Amino acid sequence: MPKKHITLILSILTAFGIIASQFSGYNLAYLSGESIEAKVLKIYDGDTATLSHNGNTLKVRLYGIDAPELKQKFGVESRNNLKKLCPIQSNIQLQIKDKDKYGRIVGILKCNNQDANAMQVAQGYAWAYKEYSLAYIHLELKAKLESKGLWSEENPIKPSLYRKQTSQYKQWATAHIPPEDLE
């Protein structure tokens, strides 16, 4: 292949890479294990936040924890606690661990030099997500023993079970209850 063709192909591939990186946002830019400084833009719930870094908007799922859904008991309290730990517009450190199936960065938020993920579990506002990490199990056990947050309930429902039950109920209701009776 002539040298001119190789140069042309390399130029096209380089241009394609630059264009693709503009459309993919953080997907190509951030690597597992990397630690970055970011600003908190929004706290969705007790384990999901939106951050800003170098002009990019990053949707982040907190690593190793599973917080109650907003419509679930302690869901709003969990979100409010994370807002207190990591106030909107505050500068934080994000330790990137992975990317989830929804394309969100999975990471550890360090707010005011504290591991916010750990604090959510320690204060009883999230479960240790044992399926993904064993890092916070001891904090969950301590919160449970001290009846903190959601552990003040006799049998709190894990978010994964709540999501499953809610989904199954919606499927059943759609099939068995007339739409006008669902309102």
How far is Cα 162 from Cα 63, in angstroms, rounded to an integer?
19
pLDDT tens for each residue of 53-97 = 999 999 999 999 999 999 999 999 999 999 999 999 999 999 999
Nearest alpha carbon to residue 94 among 140, 37, 45:
37
Residue type, 1: M
Q: Which residues of 94-127 are buried (b: 16+ CB within 10 A; e: fewer)?
A: bbbbebeeeebbbbbbbbeeebbbbbbbbbbbbb
CATH of 31-174, one of 3.50.50.60, 2.40.50.90, 2.60.40.10, 3.60.90.10: 2.40.50.90
pLDDT tens for each residue of 22-54 = 434 444 456 778 999 999 999 999 999 999 999
What are the φ and ψ backbone dihedral angles of 4, each rounded to 5 degrees?
A: -65, -40
pLDDT tens for each residue of 90-144 = 999 999 999 999 999 999 999 999 999 999 999 999 999 999 999 999 999 999 9
Catalytic residues: 61, 69, 104
pLDDT at 18 over 50: no
Q: Assign 21 a pLDDT band (cuts: 50, 70, 90).
A: very low
Interstrand relation of 105-111 and 56-62 (parallel, antiparallel or unpaired): parallel
